Amino acid sequence: MPGEVFGFEHGGAHRWAELANRLFGMESTDAPLPAGFILELDRPEWRFLKRELLWSTGPLSVAANVAGVGRLQIQNPSTSQRLVVITSFVAIAPAAAGTYDITVDGAIIGSTAANSALDARVPLVGGTTRQVASRNAIANNLPTPSGTRVDRITAPAGVDAVSRVPPIVLIPNSLAEISAITVNIAQTFLAFGYERPVLPDELAA
């Protein structure tokens, strides 16, 4: 008979005990795991249990404008009470070779939409979307990128350009964006990240 793994005798933890038994052929009752063996570490499905929500903007297209550059902005609203972490910006397969700036604290875009949750446990809004607190916006009204540049990336035509910066952390009432540096080119952008509740002490320097 397979052994019981100490600490994993009850509830959902049984699946870990089953894994350990299959891996190590454990037979003794209340057998400990082998030293240093990690079954799982920060599983994606655990994030919801600590109120951390994965999100995506989905692909968002910006029309060409002879006087403006295409850009995608992620905003953490002033009322969110959450930290928003951007893990990646992407310029999706541009039609022409392009260069893009990743910036923070740029010119705010007024018309926004909620980012989409990547966990089906987040309730549907209006029966159609699963929303998080962070928001996205697209625009093509500026002649050049705005804000403080933290990365610059390039891509050949038809190849995704993916940001290289470490995750960007947004406190309430802050923003970051990806922006083309050349005007009059249609763009499709995408961003991924996660967000979680923020404590007052986390906002202090």
Within this chain, do residues 29 and 75 fall inside the same structural domain, yes or no?
no
* pTM (predicted TM-score): 0.86
Check if the beta carbon of residue 145 is closer than 8 Å to that of residue 181: yes
In the chain, what are the helix, strand and coil shares in percent, each to the nearest 5? 10, 45, 45
Within this chain, do residues 25 and 80 fall inside the same structural domain, yes or no?
no
What CATH number should be reported for the domain holding residue 133?
2.60.120
Residues 6+ apart with CB under 8 A from 80: 133, 134, 172, 195
Within this chain, do residues 88 and 108 fall inside the same structural domain, yes or no?
yes
Within this chain, do residues 19 and 85 fall inside the same structural domain, yes or no?
no
What pLDDT, in 10s, does the model give residues 139-188?
A: 999 999 999 999 999 999 999 999 999 999 999 999 999 999 999 999 99
What pLDDT score does 58 carry? Answer: 97
What pLDDT score does 114 carry? Answer: 97
What pLDDT score does 32 carry? Answer: 76
- Ranges of residues in the chain with a pLDDT under 70 are 1-3, 11-12, 27-30
What pLDDT score does 46 carry? Answer: 86
What pLDDT score does 20 carry? Answer: 77
Cα–Cα distance measured from residue 35 to residue 42, given in angstroms and rounded to the nearest whole number: 19
What pLDDT score does 3 carry? Answer: 65
Residues 6+ apart with CB under 8 A from 69: 140, 142, 143, 144, 145, 179, 180, 181, 182, 183, 185
Cα–Cα distance measured from residue 18 to residue 202, given in angstroms and rounded to the nearest whole number: 39
Within this chain, do residues 15 and 114 fall inside the same structural domain, yes or no?
no
Within this chain, do residues 5 and 53 fall inside the same structural domain, yes or no?
no
Within this chain, do residues 36 and 56 fall inside the same structural domain, yes or no?
no
Within this chain, do residues 34 and 114 fall inside the same structural domain, yes or no?
no
Within this chain, do residues 34 and 134 fall inside the same structural domain, yes or no?
no
Within this chain, do residues 77 and 11 fall inside the same structural domain, yes or no?
no
Check if the beta carbon of residue 196 is closer than 8 Å to that of residue 115: no
For the chain, the C-alpha Rg in angstroms (whole number) is: 22
If one counts the domains in the chain, the total is: 2
Cα–Cα distance measured from residue 125 to residue 1, given in angstroms and rounded to the nearest whole number: 49
Within this chain, do residues 74 and 31 fall inside the same structural domain, yes or no?
no
> In which domain, by residue range, is 28 found?
1-41
Within this chain, do residues 134 and 163 fall inside the same structural domain, yes or no?
yes
